[in-house]
Chain A
Amino acid sequence: MLRAHNISYAIGDKILVKDINLIMKPGEVNVIMGQNGAGKSTLLKILAGSINHYGGEAVIKNRNILGYSQAELAKLRAVLSQHYEIFFPITVDEIVMMGRYPHFKSSPSKADIDICMSTMELMGIAELRNRDYNTLSGGEAQKTQMARVLAQIWHDKDTEQSPKILFLDEPVSSLDLHYQHHIMQVARDFAGRGNLVAAVLHDINLAVSYADRIIFMKDGKIAKCYGAGESIDSEVVSSVFDIKTHSILNPFNGKQLFVVNNRL
């Protein structure tokens, strides 16, 4: 569904990503990991269609991303970023309704309102819907934004059921444990309904818990890619993050759990 073919991107002499080849399929949660500056967010922006001039091509549903109009892309994929700053008072439900803006002209239909209600309930923020966004805690604010991006690509009964893409760019980096898992679980469920999720995460254990595929990046290139069920080599993790790691068994889910030797 989403394919990167020989993607390279540089600003001046600085190479941000180089020779990226990958395929992402509907139903999967793909997590991109790597150090700060490894090119993760840049790759995500290219795949989401917000960078225009790069080498190689990014293809969604057998069509080059650059061939889509902004309006078409808006109905096909949504992007959740790490942080939002809003300067004027605006209610939670209006923020969530923005997710439906690509779908209606001047006023929302009954279906648009229902979809917003469903995603707000899913994120557990329905009671906050008349609150001013600026008075929310960091976790509540990010859940509001998650409800918004979900509303943007939500399947309702009447629209076509083709798979959508959810991009998450460090969505949980500033959140506490509970919120981190809540947002990742919702993303996981969203993928489970036949959609594609591509996320940049910093926490390797969060990635192991929720990802079908983990893509490790280093210095703008893909260092190693692990599919579902493949065991991750702790040497790879150590070299990607420049810190000694070791994996043990997570007693809760039987998956790998990475621990770090903090004596650098």
Chain B
Amino acid sequence: MLNNINNRTIYIFLAVLLVMLVVISAGVGAVYMPAGEIIDIVLNYTGIKASAVNPVHEGLFFQIRLPRTFMCFIVGAALSVSGAVMQSLFRNPIVEPGLVGTSAGAALGASFIFVFGKLDIFRNMAFMGDLLMPLVAFAGGLAATFIVYSFSSSFGKVNAATMILAGIAVNAMAAGGTGFLAYIARDPQARSITFWSLGTFSGADWKGVLIVLTVSVACIITLAGFAKQLNAIQLGDSEANYLGINVERMKIQIILVNTLLVSVATSMVGVISFVGLVVPHLLRILKGSDNRYLITGSALLGAVVMITVDMLCRIIIAPAEMPIGIITAFVGAPVFLWLLYRNRNSARKGGFYA
């Protein structure tokens, strides 16, 4: 562990990396735009310095590349913070929103609106406009999370193994539901639902970015406020109680906020697994598990990872692009196995990263 490195140094390093990646990511894809051209487009648009820009590239940059990059940024941060918080809350290194069913439940809710949203009953809810889908996704995510939680907890203690198993069952159920919806949907819709179950950023627009941005910023700030309590709960529920924390109330508050965070992100980009699992562990290996550091760090590193992976998706089989869930699974699943291996050995060696 890098105890001698200041947290702030890590944040600054990640932030600089992030800015660089945003510029590169906006340039990469079927049409390549070098950094110089991007700077010209931005300067021209803001009126700082007029220059001759390609109007097609300008449109591409502002309407497609930039919202997509920001969507990656926000969703990466959201999923990683969620993973860090869930791992701390359940005192379990192998949970994340994708594994315990939250994402799959949210995806089921979102695809439900995707397929049935034009029906009469939802006409009455038209006033909710673009918020209807995130809200139903939240309901789906919440239902899935509480099913898993109630199966895996007894007398206030959460059994890690039962939680993973209940997560498998709920994931299968939600995936079955989503598959069924895809089956009964008309063809073009069906195609996008399938694509969605592996996650994609290709549909990102400014409206979606705005919704996810608002919800994520609010949720992440709220969760950061729980950092101290999440640290204390590492001692055990009753010990946290002795430190003045109302553990039951805290758990419910955190689960609600966390599910909202994950569900809204999922309703926009589909299910993206393993990012929330891997990012917090990278940070822990770097510098311990203080949740004040983990939450801020996960937001930054999560954005870095998501933007990078999305760029890979656009490059690998250009001009087509790959669903992002394929790459996160290829990278994340081996990490998951490694964690299981570590977990198995940790008792013997003393300490999870020993």
Query: A91-B288, A94-B288 are known contacts. Are A74 and B234 too (CB-CB below 8 A)?
Result: no
Instruction: Give the interface SS of chain B, mostly helix, strand, loop or mixed.
Output: loop
Contacts of B44 in A (CB 8 A): none
Cβ–Cβ contact A85 & B236, under 8 A? yes
* Residues in A27-51 with C-beta less than 8 Å from chain B: 48, 50
How would residues 50 to 94 of chain B score, 1 for a CB under 8 Å from any chain A CB and 0 otherwise?
000000000000000000000000000000000000011001110
Binds B, one of A129-137, A156-164, A240-248: A129-137
User: Within the complex, which residue of A48, A74, A132 is in contact with B351, where a contact is CB–CB below 8 Å?
Assistant: A132
Contact present for B243 and A88 (CB under 8 Å): no
Judge whether A101 is part of the interface by a CB distance below 8 angstroms.
Answer: yes
Cβ–Cβ contact A94 & B352, under 8 A: no
Knowing A88-B289, A90-B288, A94-B288, say if A102 contacts B235 (CB, 8 Å): no
Least CB distance, A47 to chain B, in whole angstroms: 12
Query: Are B236 and A78 in contact, CB atoms less than 8 angstroms apart?
Result: no
CA distance A87 to B347 in the complex (A): 9
* B152: min CB distance to chain A, Å: 16
Number of A-B contacts (CB under 8 A): 89
List, in ascending order, chain A residues with CB within 8 A of B284's CB: 88-89
B352 touches A88 (CB 8 A): yes
* Residues of chain B within 8 A of A152, CB atoms compared: 243
How would residues 61 to 76 of chain A score, 1 for a CB under 8 Å from any chain B CB and 0 otherwise? 0000000001111110
Complex Cα gap A85–B91 (Å): 10
- Residue contact B244 to A98, C-beta cutoff 8 Å: no
- Which residues from chain B contact A90 at a C-beta distance below 8 Å? 231, 234, 288-290
Cβ of A102 and Cβ of B243 under 8 Å apart? yes
Q: Is residue B232 within 8 Å, beta carbon to beta carbon, of the partner chain?
A: yes
Interface size on A, residues (CB 8 A): 32
| Shortest distance between the CB of B262 and any CB in chain A (Å) | 21
- Which partner residue on chain A sits nearest B244 by CB separation? A74
Contacts of B234 in A (CB 8 A): 86-88, 90
Report whether B288 and A98 are in contact in the complex, using a CB–CB cutoff of 8 Å. Answer: no
Interface range for B:
20 to 34
Specify which of A77, A85, A87, A130 is in contact with B93 (CB 8 Å cutoff). Answer: A87
- Assembly CA distance A70 to B3 (angstroms): 33
The answer to whether A91 touches B3 (Cβ under 8 A) is yes
Contact B290–A48 (Cβ < 8 Å): no
Interface residues of A in 72-130 (CB under 8 A from B): 72-75, 77-79, 81, 84-91, 94-95, 98-99, 101-102, 106, 130
B242 interface hit (Cβ, 8 Å): yes
Q: Cβ of B47 < 8 Å from any Cβ of A?
A: no
CA distance A71 to B243 in the complex (A): 7
Q: Contact: B350 with A134, CB < 8 Å?
A: yes
CB nearest neighbor in A for B351 = A134
With a cutoff of 8 Å between Cβ atoms, the chain B residues found around residue A102 in the complex are 243-244
Is the Cβ of B242 less than 8 Å from the Cβ of A89? Answer: no
Closest CB-CB distance, A1 to chain B, in whole Å?
18
24 contacting pairs across A/B (C-beta < 8 A): A73-B242, A74-B243, A74-B244, A79-B239, A81-B236, A81-B239, A86-B234, A86-B235, A87-B234, A87-B352, A88-B352, A89-B1, A89-B284, A89-B289, A89-B353, A90-B234, A95-B235, A101-B229, A101-B244, A132-B1, A132-B353, A134-B351, A134-B352, A135-B350
Task: State the A residues within 8 Å of B (CB).
Answer: 48, 50, 70-75, 77-79, 81, 84-91, 94-95, 98-99, 101-102, 106, 130, 132, 134-135, 152
9 A-B pairs closest in CB distance:
A74-B244, A134-B351, A88-B289, A102-B244, A71-B244, A79-B242, A70-B244, A87-B91, A89-B353
